Amino acid sequence: MKRREYLRLAGVASLWPLAARGQQQPVVGFLSAVSQNETAHLVAAFRRGLGETGLVEGKNVSIEYRFADGQYDRLPAQATAANAARVATASIPIVFIVGVDPVGAGLVASFNRPGGNATGITLVSGPLGQKRLELLREIVPKATNVVMLVNPLSPDAPPEIRDVQAAAQANGFKIMLLNASTSDELKSALATLSDRHSGALLVGADPFFMVRREQITALVAQQKIPAVYPFREFADAGGLMSYGTNIANAYRQSGIYAGRILKGAKPADLPVLNPISFELVVNLKTARTLGLEIPPALHARSDEVIE
């Protein structure tokens, strides 16, 4: 299989190549850790990026989609057989979107010179846990106990937890971990927020939670607990506040990279991109429901305020 005959895009989590089916036009395999419905705006952003390089789905490029619905164990099954995957990843170009350090994870040799068959975009989601904690303290300055919702099955959870716990210790308050990796566990865990005497909630940056943002924000609203989330999609769903990378823009950039590679660029020569900015979104409607006053300074530096 020639390099330009097939290119695969990874979603937020894992890297698994798909098999080519002999199409005449280039094929992009789009594998996402989240669900199809929840990814619609991200797929659209990816297509926009491809379009900026002159590639249009159905016209001069084909896209095959696989979605894991936040269940990491589905990723291998939705790609090709394991042996074929290992062979494919040695030669097939890969464009990834990840929230972890791609160098530390062994995906690339360095940010500026990836050196292999993979490059992509980092969301820098986990390391922002400390900043989200600071934002919570601005809104709920008297909170001494903060609950952090994490997915124990996520490979991104341990470093995010370490960063948040270190920040909490430095500021003299406690972090209590709340584990959930299924919808039922989410419901049970979030129902205990009041019993834990928590002053606020920090939701970890994980595709599993992204898929279930409607469920999470609704359950948190029932508990009347102030919460900060990793991505703006949570604030759009009714969450109090979010701080993180604009994921849609990351997918657009991944589409541009995919298009450039299909036109001859080598992943080894395309630097891994970091976000150039982060967005703070505040939901004033939710704040009023919680009886919270958004500090003027926080309001002023918000990128968007949802009325």
**pLDDT tens readout for residues 268-280:** 999 999 987 799 9
Given a cut of 60, whether residue 17 has pLDDT beyond it is no
Q: What is the 3-state secondary structure (H, E, C) of the chain?
A: CCHHHEEEEECCCCCCCCCCCCCCCCEEEEEECCCCCCCHHHHHHHHHHHHHCCCCECCCEEEEEEECCCCHHHHHHHCCCHHHHHHHCCCCCEEEEECCCCCCCCCCCCCCCCCCCEEEEECCCHHHHHHHHHHHHHHCCCCCEEEEEECCCCCCHHHHHHHHHHHHHHCCCEEEEEECCCHHHHHHHHCCCCCCCCCEEEECCCHHHHHCHHHHHHHHHHHCCCEEECCHHHHHCCCCEEEECCHHHHHHHHHHHHHHHHCCCCHHHCCCECCCCCEEEEEHHHHHHHCCCCCHHHHHCCCEEEC
Given a cut of 60, whether residue 43 has pLDDT beyond it is yes
What average pLDDT does the segment 52-78 reach?
A: 75
The better pLDDT of the pair 71, 47 is held by 47
Confidence bin at 117 (pLDDT 50/70/90): confident
pLDDT of amino acid 71:
59
Given a cut of 60, whether residue 139 has pLDDT beyond it is yes
Given a cut of 70, whether residue 18 has pLDDT beyond it is no
Given a cut of 50, whether residue 124 has pLDDT beyond it is yes
The better pLDDT of the pair 257, 100 is held by 257
Architecture of the domain made up of 126-244+278-306: 3-Layer(aba) Sandwich (3.40)
**pLDDT tens readout for residues 80-91:** 443 333 345 667
Which of the listed ranges 56-65, 67-76, 89-98 does the model predict with the highest average pLDDT?
Answer: 56-65
Average pLDDT over the chain reads 82
What average pLDDT does the segment 206-210 reach?
A: 84
Domains 3-123+246-269 and 126-244+278-306 share a fold: yes
The domain segmentation of the chain, as residue ranges, is 3-123+246-269, 126-244+278-306
pLDDT of amino acid 69:
60
Given a cut of 90, whether residue 21 has pLDDT beyond it is no
What average pLDDT does the segment 34-38 reach?
A: 72
CATH 3.40.50.2300 fits 3-123+246-269, yes or no: yes
pLDDT of amino acid 244:
92
